[in-house]
Amino acid sequence: MTVNDQVVAHADMPRNGPVELAGTAEGANVAALCTPQMVARATLRVTCLVMVANERAATLSLVAGTQPPG
């Protein structure tokens, strides 16, 4: 996870369970809970709830794979 081009936290993304990331950016605590979901045989969707200073800042959804989710 990066904030303004600075790495705040790093973790491997498992395919079968959530991962929590935490760090500090510009003096504020930053955290994310990322949950993977296999949406097709070779397609993984990851949804991350991002918190800054204990307040919800964003929800991100990323898709990686060879097939579009359907």
| Res 66 pLDDT > 90 | no
- Residue 69: the pLDDT is 52
- Residue 12: the pLDDT is 87
| Measured CA angle at 25 (ends 22, 60), to 5 deg | 60
At 53, phi and psi to the nearest 5?
50, 45
Q: How many CB atoms lie within 10 A of CB 68?
A: 9
Identify the sign of the CA torsion 27, 33, 36, 39: negative
- Residue 42: the pLDDT is 85
Read off the pTM.
0.80
- Residue 13: the pLDDT is 80
* pLDDT tens, residue by residue, 3-54: 899 999 998 887 889 999 999 999 999 999 999 999 888 888 999 999 999 9
